């Protein structure tokens, strides 16, 4: 029986066979503990009714474990050099399709609506490249996608930011976006010793389960996120200063005063002190005044 890809000997053999180095620019660290990968697949609840989406399969270590359980695995790999490798390492699995594509440029909405089948659940399971974790998750959260959950490995500090509460240094626009769309929890930690090359930081597996409805009601989602992001533009500045910089061409000084007065939010506060409900109130009043 062939050893799992996620072992030091097999990973090194694959890398040598194809003359591959590790691309720092793509955040490539390969997991060499098959038990950790099996746990991730189990925590994600992947079974024969799962259509799994993987981002950055690398040499196929997680893909292989997903293929054992899922109905089908669709993996998106940006690194052209790895296509031949994946063709080889995943050749035993007929239920895997690999695309040489940047997930940020993929039309996932059309793709998933084509692949989605009644009675199946689409689950994203991925060891996300550290340098691009946030943009990928934001795309997955904000596009209208029929995704049930995302179980993703990332730097522990990024996972902490996503689950952060107001009035903490980790709390920011990322925390709000994640909590607006999903219920999030860290399901396990992964020490850096499980990888080659060893990263400088530990990792965590964050599970995000899509809410049926967003946590709070907002009049205009795009405006809500614009208000949130602007409020954290410069963390040391007040929300009033940050919002004035963002909306100076659209709102007068008088209108700014009206927004803070009507929403009941003190303009001298900083973004990190506002709850998601307060941001909703602020953006809804902002929407009303912009559309008067």
- Report pLDDT digits (tens) over 91-127: 999 999 999 999 999 999 999 988 878 899 999 999 9
Residues at the annotated binding site? 29, 31, 56, 77, 102, 127
pLDDT of residue 115: 83
Q: How crowded is the C-beta side of 100, counted as CA atoms within 13 Å?
A: 9
pLDDT of residue 128: 86
Given a contact cutoff of 8 angstroms between Cβ atoms, the answer to whether 283 and 224 are in contact is yes
Q: pTM of the entire structure? A: 0.86
Residues at the annotated binding site for S-adenosyl-L-methionine? 29, 31, 56, 77, 102, 127
pLDDT of residue 2: 76
pLDDT of residue 214: 92
Distance CA 234, CA 42 (A): 40
CA nearest to 7, candidates 41, 30, 39, 40: 30
Residue 206: its H or E element: strand 203-210
pLDDT digit string (tens) for 150-168?
999 998 988 988 888 899 9
Given a contact cutoff of 8 angstroms between Cβ atoms, the answer to whether 33 and 218 are in contact is no
User: In the chain, what are the domain boundaries?
Assistant: 8-210, 221-290
Domains 8-210 and 221-290 share a fold: no
Query: Would you tell me how many other CB atoms lie within 10 Å of the CB of residue 215?
Result: 15
Q: Which CATH class is domain 8-210?
A: alpha beta
> Which parts of the chain register pLDDT below 70?
1, 22-28
CA nearest to 33, candidates 192, 152, 190, 194: 194
Burial bucket for residue 188 (CB in 10 Å: 0-12, 13-18, 19+): middle
Backbone dihedral angles phi then psi of residue 270, each to the nearest 5 degrees: -100, 155
pLDDT of residue 28: 64
Query: Would you tell me how many other CB atoms lie within 10 Å of the CB of residue 92?
Result: 9
Residue 259: its H or E element: helix 253-263
Q: Rg of the chain's alpha carbons, rounded to an integer?
A: 21
- CATH 3.90.180.10 is held by the domain 221-290: no
């Amino acid at each position: 029986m062939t050893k799992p890809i996620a072992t030091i000997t097999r990973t090194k053999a694959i890398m040598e066979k194809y003359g591959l180095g590790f691309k720092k620019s793509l955040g490539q660290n390969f997991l060499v503990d098959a038990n950790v990968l099996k746990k991730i697949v189990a925590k994600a609840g992947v079974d024969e009714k799962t259509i799994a989406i993987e981002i950055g399969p690398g040499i196929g270590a997680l893909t292989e474990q997903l293929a054992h359980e899922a109905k089908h695995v669709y993996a998106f790999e940006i690194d052209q050099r790895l296509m031949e490798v994946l063709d080889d390492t995943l050749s035993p699995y007929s239920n895997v399709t690999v695309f040489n594509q940047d997930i940020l440029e993929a039309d996932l909405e059309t793709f998933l609506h084509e692949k989605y089948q009644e009675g199946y659940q689409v689950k994203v399971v991925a060891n996300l490249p550290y340098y691009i974790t946030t943009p990928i998750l934001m795309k997955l959260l904000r596009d209208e996608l029929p995704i049930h959950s995302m179980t993703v490995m990332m730097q522990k500090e990024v996972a902490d930011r996503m689950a952060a509460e107001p009035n903490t240094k980790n709390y920011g626009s990322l925390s709000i976006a994640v909590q607006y769309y999903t219920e999030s929890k860290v399901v396990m930690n992964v020490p850096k010793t499980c990888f080659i090359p060893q990263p400088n930081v530990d990792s965590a597996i964050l599970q995000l389960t899509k809410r049926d409805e967003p946590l709070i009601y907002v009049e205009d989602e795009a405006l809500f996120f614009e208000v949130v992001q602007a409020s954290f533009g410069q963390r040391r500045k007040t929300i009033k200063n940050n919002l004035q910089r963002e909306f100076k061409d659209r709102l007068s000084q008088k209108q700014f005063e009206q927004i803070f007065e009507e929403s009941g939010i003190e303009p001298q506060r900083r973004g990190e002190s506002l709850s998601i409900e307060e941001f909703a109130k602020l953006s809804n009043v902002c929407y009303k005044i912009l559309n008067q």
